[in-house]
Structure 1
């Protein structure tokens, strides 16, 4: 399964950088499912790092 970003990997925009701490705050601190979020984030980062961007996109919608 490939990520949605192009092979050339476009640079990450300022909008995406700004959304990162918002997603981490909402998913990893505020919600009761925070432990699932951190577990999944670490698992994806180690096993399929190319899908990390798609994971954050899915969380932001």
Structure 2
């Protein structure tokens, strides 16, 4: 069996998260129509905000 547990997280550097967000946002801006752009932007913001809060709280415990 493996010695690693499921509670261990390797955090992604902030620059990588920002780059991923900008790349996905650019893809939405170029290829999506207005409705999908709005929904996709909301989805991106919620997803990255949740991930940011989760990784931020892990560093303080």
* TM class, shorter-length: 0.3 to 0.5
Larger Rg: 2
**Which of structures 1 and 2 has the larger relative contact order (alpha carbons within 8 angstroms, sep 6+)?**
1
Q: TM-score, normalising length from structure 1?
A: 0.37
